Amino acid sequence: MSRPVAVHPPLPQPGSLVPPIYARLLRMLLQHADVDGDRVLAAAGLDWDTLVKDDKRLGRDTIVRLAEGAMAATRRPWLGLDLGGGAPVSAHGALGYAVVTSRDLRAAMHTLARYGTTRNDAMAWTCVDTRDGMTMQAADRTELGSVRGFVVDTVLGAILRMLETAVGQVPASLRIDLPLPTPTWRDQYQRFGVAELRFEQPSFALHVARRDLALPCIGADAKAHASACRECEEALAEVAGASLAQRVAGLLAGIDDGAYPRMADVAARCGISARTLIRRLHEDGATFQQLLDAARQQRALWMLVHTAEPMEEIASRLGYVDTSNFSRTVRRWFGATPREVRAAGGRPVGEELPQS
């Protein structure tokens, strides 16, 4: 008998995602394209006079309406590349200054990963040393729906602009993975001079070979970098304080080897006690176990749908001692066995599984 399977576990939705500077830049971009930017702002519930005076961060729904309206008005599905690639380093505030004053490319990438959420709380970044170099990988922290591509493109353009400014060039070995369908307009990405760009990948990631990580930053300045990082730390604390559950969810989403941290370890990384972590998560309407369960659920779904890894390997990488326990948990999550979830192939919630 066929059964429905939930294959899209919801992501936590933060109350705010980005500073208003990006909406201001988008409005300017629209005006230069002979589009009525104020009309697009109004459709998203914004107005220019308020936008230039108010530093309040923009929420998810506002961003969705703004991006949808802007792309429709310009008929440019690649508008995110225009926005991110055209933004000056100063638009990214302390993060931009911290990146360009880093010692070298390795330090610049670590800076981007640590403080990226201060400018865009929709995704969290991790830097991992690999055998060949370094990978900086994003984990989604909120569901962006129809404008996910716009946001990914904007972030990609901004990162490439910052890295090029920092070291004077786009690193020759840079490879980029995008979790997006291959677009008919993929030539638009060639403006950045990236050696390799791969679409339809499981995650948004940048890979740099070891030989390029030592590229010195043109504006390297230890004192200025330390000052910018202090400001970033304050912004990070402010963003995290708005939703500690989001910060913990992002941390757990970046775990790939099954070595999920204990609650006490997470509390220490957040600079608070375990008791305070429990209380503040409760205030956010969450518990540590719920967030851990959601992170495992999300990771399990991705591995089942997007890889051919055997069930034993998936169970191990999610921290389960045996496959039977993993199978029971998957059935609890999705109302189906791991093999049935894999067979569903990422179908929407409620769609029937194929008959066995």
Query: In the predicted model, is pLDDT for residue 257 greater than 80?
Result: no
Task: Report whether 281 contacts 275 (CB < 8 A).
Answer: no
pLDDT in tens, 275-325: 999 998 998 889 999 998 888 888 888 778 777 788 888 888 888 888 899
Is residue 120 helix, strand or coil? coil
Of the ranges 14-28, 50-64, 192-206, 241-255, which is most confident? 192-206
Single-letter residue type at 145: G
Q: Which of 129, 341, 112, 123 is nearest to 253 (CA)?
A: 123
The domain limits of the chain are 16-75, 78-242, 244-344
Per DSSP bridges, beta strands 175-177 and 196-198 are parallel
Query: In the predicted model, is pLDDT for residue 348 greater than 60?
Result: no
The CA distances from residue 78 to 83, 93, 127, 189, in Å, are: 9, 24, 27, 9
Q: Band the pLDDT of 83: cuts 50, 70, 90.
A: very high
* Alpha helix positions (H), 19-115: 21-32, 37-43, 48-53, 60-74, 79-86, 93-100, 105-115
Per DSSP bridges, beta strands 123-129 and 196-198 are unpaired
* Token reading at 162: 């910052």
CA 82, 85, 90, 93 dihedral sign is: positive
Burial of 341 (0-12, 13-18, 19+ CB in 10 A): buried
Give the pLDDT confidence score for residue 334 in this predicted structure.
85
**What average pLDDT does range 319-345 have in this prediction?**
86
* Token reading at 32: 């230069």
Give the pLDDT confidence score for residue 169 in this predicted structure.
95
Chain centre to alpha carbon of residue 173: 22
CATH superfamily of 244-344: Homeodomain-like (1.10.10.60)
Global pTM value: 0.66
Mean pLDDT of the chain: 86
Task: Report whether 144 contacts 78 (CB < 8 A).
Answer: no
The residues, any chain, with a CB within 8 Å of residue 187's CB and separated by 6 or more, are: none
